[in-house]
Amino acid sequence: MASSKTRSRSRPRSPARIAALIGVKLVGAWWRSDHARPADSAEAGGFGGWAERWFGTREGSGSAVKSPPDPVAGELAAALTPYGVAPRRIDREHLTEVVTGRRKAERWRVPLPAGLSLVKVNLAITEVAPRVGLEVLDAWEEPAEHGSGLTMMLGRRGQLHYRLEFAPTDSLVPGAVAVLIGGFGPDWDQTGEDFLGFPAPISIAVLPGYQGSEKIADAARAAGLEVLLHLPMEPDRYPQVNPGPEAILVHLKPAEVRARMRRALKELGPVRGIASYMGSRATTDPALVEIVLDETRRQGLFFVDNGVASRSVVQAVARRLGTPCVTSGIVLDGNRDAKAIARQMAAVIKTAEGNRDVVVIGHGYPETHAALRAVLPELRARGIEVVPVSRLVGAELPLDAAASHGG
């Protein structure tokens, strides 16, 4: 057997190769790549493009084809995010067998931040592979444009499933920032109207069960903004702290949890995803989280964990179920003081400049609106893009929160 790339290569026993080849079986196969698409195709299509890249496929003429969620790909991508690798920047394409034309594997081209150790990348993938039923079949280093690259072959029982090609970049590309402004429903004032005209594609989360909830969601959609259901969930101090009507509570039966979610979704009309509101107790309950995320997946939506609970099981359950999910890293306005919000934004900028995407949560406060408007020119000058939350789903990059989420 030989590689479809007719080249010979020497394989020096570099640290990265040694780390991957301990007890590894070497394999080779005839492969050719088909259905290639540009690396930025997902970014051009908003949530649809992201969903195609991470949970669907593109065939022939380019029409999107729905396919089952891919929790394995999600786990592999999650293993790379601590090293500044954003899943939305990974170029994925299908590999097909030359003789039969059958789809056999995926090829990933993964840009790495400059200076990142290939050994760390190798070990991260080697550690996660067994957890998702994969083994490292082969691995080697070879010259790349900006240093040494790393290729890893992952599969099951000697059959190739993923070919991961890592190559360093010559410079760091700033991450993107997604801003989710939530808590709308019980209150709507001029600041709410101001957010509808915000000069960047922010996302709006609306609480269900209030007189103005449906109108607010309609107004946000009419303004061209992405709308999410802000799902009230049980906090630690419930019932002293009340998350609101139709809240998702730990003691509810599964059928009632689903019924409440469906009623809320029907009330708000078309939404792109669901975000937890409060939920410091609910998001630590595996059984309840599984129901919520399964219903989210069934509705064709993504989920945003607001990060209120350090013991949250949302990400772990989401990966197992294949539910698109992201965790917010920081709340901008836990302290409404303008200087405190500015400090939070400075942390966001620092993280984004380190090639990390950031999902941040704010509320409909005048101070929050003013701070975001004031920082927009700096974000643009630094090349940091503000994007809807859906663009970063699957690209979780935790950021230590310095403010209370109130949950």
Rounded-to-integer distance, Cα 308 and Cα 328, Å? 9
Residue-wise pLDDT for 315-357, tens only, equals 899 988 888 899 987 899 999 999 999 999 999 999 888 778 8
Q: Is 188 helix (H, G, I), strand (E, B) or coil?
A: coil
**231 near 274, Cβ under 8 Å?**
yes
211 in the same domain as 130? no
Residue 80 buriedness (CB in 10 A; 0-12 / 13-18 / 19+): buried
- Residue ending a domain, among 103, 135, 168, is 168
Domain that holds residue 278: 177-392
353 in the same domain as 305? yes
**Inter-axis angle of helices 314-321 and 286-298, to 10 degrees?**
50
Q: How confident is the model at residue 113 (pLDDT cuts 50, 70, 90)?
A: confident
294 in the same domain as 159? no
- Nearest partner of 327 among 401, 233, 268, judged by Cα: 401
Choose the weakest-confidence range: 29-43, 161-175, 179-193. 29-43
Q: How confident is the model at residue 14 (pLDDT cuts 50, 70, 90)?
A: low
- Nearest partner of 396 among 362, 357, 363, 360, judged by Cα: 357
In a domain, 254, yes or no: yes
189 in the same domain as 156? no
213 in the same domain as 98? no
Longest dimension (CA), the chain: 69
- Residue ending a domain, among 134, 168, 202, is 168
Rounded-to-integer distance, Cα 372 and Cα 295, Å? 33
Is pLDDT above 50 for 405? no
CATH number at residue 188: 3.20.20.370
In a domain, 401, yes or no: no
Residues 134-155, mean pLDDT to the nearest whole number: 89
Rounded-to-integer distance, Cα 82 and Cα 314, Å? 18
Model pTM score? 0.69
278 in the same domain as 313? yes
In a domain, 25, yes or no: yes
**360 near 177, Cβ under 8 Å?**
yes
214 in the same domain as 111? no
Residue-wise pLDDT for 167-185, tens only, equals 887 666 788 999 999 999 8
Q: How many domains is the chain partitioned into structurally?
A: 2
Identify the helix (H) or strand (E) that includes residue 54. Answer: helix 46-55
In a domain, 403, yes or no: no
In a domain, 28, yes or no: yes
Residue type (1 letter), 193: E
In a domain, 66, yes or no: yes
131 in the same domain as 233? no
Q: What is the pLDDT of residue 69?
A: 52
146 in the same domain as 210? no
Rounded-to-integer distance, Cα 166 and Cα 147, Å? 11
349 in the same domain as 276? yes
Residue-wise pLDDT for 255-270, tens only, equals 999 999 999 999 999 9
Rounded-to-integer distance, Cα 248 and Cα 232, Å? 6
Residue-wise pLDDT for 222-232, tens only, equals 999 999 999 99
In a domain, 6, yes or no: no
100 in the same domain as 23? yes
384 in the same domain as 270? yes
Q: What is the pLDDT of residue 171?
A: 62
Helices first, then strands: H and E counts in the chain: 12, 17
In a domain, 404, yes or no: no
- Residue ending a domain, among 168, 192, 225, is 168
